[in-house]
Structure 1
Amino acid sequence: MEKVFGILGHPVGHSMSPIIHNDAFEKIGIEARYHAFDVDPDQVKEAIEGIRALKITGCNVTVPHKIAVMKYLDEIDSEAEQIGAVNTIVNQNGKLVGYNTDGRGYVKSLLDETSIDLANMKVLVIGAGGGARGIITALLRQGIGHLTITNRTISKAELLIDLAATFDTPAEALEKQVVEEKLNEFDVIINTTSVGMSPNVDESPLSLDRLKEETIVSDLIYNPLETKLLKEAKAKGAQTLNGIGMFVNQAALSFEHWTGQKPDEIQMRKIVLQQLGGPSC
């Protein structure tokens, strides 16, 4: 019997998840089909009940449901609990378990593409939303030297400082202007906001006037493949990476949670790049 998987979101028609997962199922030889389920925010409970009733094997969860689904699940993984959001649901014979693979997917892409040792790095995270929380949690679990968070609403950034305290990692929340003045102190800069995302490609979340050449500048955005932030950073000699690696890695980790098998991440990346009109390798 063909297994059913899917993604819960609103809107969700733009998602590339069905394309990459259906290709992975076919390549590995798993009889399964992955669908996009557009779920209204007031019907999240019914959607989760539907997973049980229809015996759907697993689901991804995307905006705006990553937090809302949590109270309807039977068990939450410790990392997802720390993050406060779920992006992966596994149906274990009727018991629904929630995980979050976003942060781990990001850190893997950062380490794979830069080969850096994060242990003593000073990291700046721009943004304090759900994406930021997932990445900050994974960075703290990996181990970093110092964390700085900046956000348009500084009080939201300050809320994440408590998370760093649980790992005994020095951390601070700073206003954007202060961060820009001391930008040359950071080893890694990560934009977790949507500033610069298509169609607003002429926007940037931060001035890079004081960026030091050896800094790694990362943007979770992958449409466009190179944001204004990354273009400016590259022009200053910084190493840059976009959000493709995180997207592919979080998808691959979800696939492993569902099937116990590793998909071909190179093939996943190729498909995503083709969909975005970029180079296929």
Structure 2
Amino acid sequence: MKVRRACVMGHPVAHSRSPMIHGYWLKTLGIPGAYELKDLTVEAFPVFISNLAGNGYVGGNVTVPHKEAAFRLVASRDEAAEAIGAVNTLWLENGRLMGGNSDTHGFIANLDERARGWDVPGCRALVLGAGGAARSAVYALKQRGAEVHVVNRTVSRAQDLAARFGVMAHGFDAVPRLLRETDVLVNCTSLGLAGKPPLEIDLDPLKRSAVVY
């Protein structure tokens, strides 16, 4: 039986646990498949997914920093991806490259499971970053009624995201002030990932009851 291959695409991507998770379920369910890592630069990503089948894959997942590029490059998108403006899942359908977004569901489900009661009345959330992952987090948090603030080093990127979702945008210099009123802090940057600089933020102003994600 032919083994179908999928992969997670990002840069960097060595930190991803997706191959371990998907590999476990492929083996447990007896599905003849393989799930791999593909470290693709910003320049290499569009070329790779434009010939996904030719590269030997039936689909895959997209992580930092390619989610917005994937949104632009697919032939069709699901409702969540359209609302968020980012794609984290790719698959081929009748030869066409399709895109979807499962980040919002996964993010909120994990937050509910790991930090029950996080959505306190008047909840304020601070999202670091303004890429595809940040878009998903902002959308999900807003859907749950949180007051959302977005911080990014390039303020114009934060402003674009804020305008799309009706939230507030700030530069990184606002972080110390915002932390004092934050109930949920979400890091959607690549800082702190393998091969990237650390995320250097003083968390002392943060409430003791705050959730850090």
When normalised by structure 1's length, the TM-score is 0.63
When normalised by structure 2's length, the TM-score is 0.80
Residue aligning to 1:128: 130
Do the aligned residues in 2 keep the contact of 1:124 with 1:188 (CA within 8 Å)?
Answer: yes
Q: Residues 196-255 of structure 1: CA distance to partner in whole angstroms, max 9, x if unpaired?
A: 4457787523x333322222222xxxxxxxxxxxxxxxxxxxxxxxxxxxxxxxxxxxxx
Residue aligning to 1:180: 176
- Would you tell me which structure has more helix in proportion to its own residues? 1
Q: Could you tell me how far 1:39 is from its partner in structure 2?
A: 4.4
Residue aligning to 1:234: none
Q: Could you tell me how far 1:64 is from its partner in structure 2?
A: 4.0
Q: Could you tell me how far 1:135 is from its partner in structure 2?
A: 1.1
Larger mean CA deviation between 64-73 and 21-30 belongs to: 64-73
Letter of the structure 2 residue corresponding to residue 216 of structure 1: V
Residue aligning to 1:244: none
Larger mean CA deviation between 6-15 and 85-94 belongs to: 6-15
**Change over 3 Å in CA distance of 1:43–1:95 after alignment to 2:** same
Residue aligning to 1:271: none
Q: Could you tell me how far 1:96 is from its partner in structure 2?
A: 2.6
List gaps (5 residues or longer) in structure 1: 166-170, 219-281
Do the aligned residues in 2 keep the contact of 1:152 with 1:176 (CA within 8 Å)?
Answer: yes
| Residue correspondence of structure 1 range 226-241 to structure 2 within 5 A | none
In structure 1, C-alpha distance between the alignment counterparts of 2:10 and 2:191, rounded to whole Å = 21
Q: Residues 37-70 of structure 1: CA distance to partner in whole angstroms, max 9, x if unpaired?
A: 4445445454334334577432112344333333
List gaps (5 residues or longer) in structure 2: none
Secondary structure of the residue aligned to 2:204 is: coil
Q: Rg: which structure is higher? A: 1
Q: Percent identical across equivalent pairs?
A: 35
**Change over 3 Å in CA distance of 1:24–1:164 after alignment to 2:** same
1:189 aligns with 2:185: yes
Q: Residues 153-175 of structure 1: CA distance to partner in whole angstroms, max 9, x if unpaired?
A: 3222222211222xxxxx32234
- The equivalent position to 1:138 in structure 2, one of 137, 140, 146, is 140
Do the aligned residues in 1 keep the contact of 2:12 with 2:195 (CA within 8 Å)?
Answer: no
Do the aligned residues in 2 keep the contact of 1:121 with 1:145 (CA within 8 Å)?
Answer: yes
1:212 aligns with 2:207: yes
Aligned-residue CA RMSD in angstroms?
Answer: 3.0
1:114 aligns with 2:115: yes
Residue aligning to 1:156: 157
Letter of the structure 1 residue corresponding to residue 128 of structure 2: I
Q: Could you tell me how far 1:14 is from its partner in structure 2?
A: 5.5
